[in-house]
Amino acid sequence: MGCVNISQSNYLAAFMRIFEDNYRHKGMRKQLVDGIRQKGISDDRVLQAILHIPRHFFMDSAFDKIAYEDRAFPIAEGQTISQPYTVAYQTQLLELKPFEKVLEIGTGSAYQACVLAEMGVQVFTIERQRNLFDQNKNFPFLKKYTNIKFFYGDGYEGLPTYAPFDKIIITAAAPLVPPKLIEQLKIEGKMVIPLGDGKVQRMLRITKQEGGILKEEEFDNFSFVPMLQGRKGS
């Protein structure tokens, strides 16, 4: 039997036919965005990004009807797809500008990476779990985002080869601010990080100023899975 060569666009089209994004899904997404706006998310670019991304694509089909509830859900390897409000909150704190280089620590489901990509930035995202990394590499929907680069590695090490970055977002609970990530942040660049090793973390925005001075701003409390060192998997 011969091998059929399917182009990237045809591959995505075939995926979209199987994983339908219908009027019901779009209506639930609009309700979700309205709810996030009422909770205080005011950046319309963030809201529009969430409106355009089918969140149910990132979850087991059994969750199709509840994918647009504003809460986290479990995914593989003991991780979660973050609550949409949390995704919007961190993204808004980044104050993104088009074409910026953004380093994401903790790809997870890749939902956050897609929100960033929808906003026109170049995303470099690291995942330490080999299984999650492989799943994302084989996830057809992600092929539409040519501005996302996926890496398997240790988030504490960052990506020095691609530094410096305009913005860094950490999507796991860090017990401390990783010094190597600060080194990879541009002057006047911003890092958004949930800091703390307990059940609850304080969201921080760190701006790296001239001379390496760090300006810290504290925001609300959240709960994230822990940020672990090293890589897991072969």
Active site (catalytic) residues: 82
Q: At what angle do helices 44-52 and 111-118 cross, to 10 degrees?
A: 120
- Amino acid identity at 24: R
Beta carbons within 10 angstroms of residue 81's beta carbon: 21
Q: How far apart are CA 35 and CA 47, in angstroms?
A: 10
End-to-end CA, the chain? 33
CA-closest candidate to residue 173, choices 115, 90, 116, 98: 90
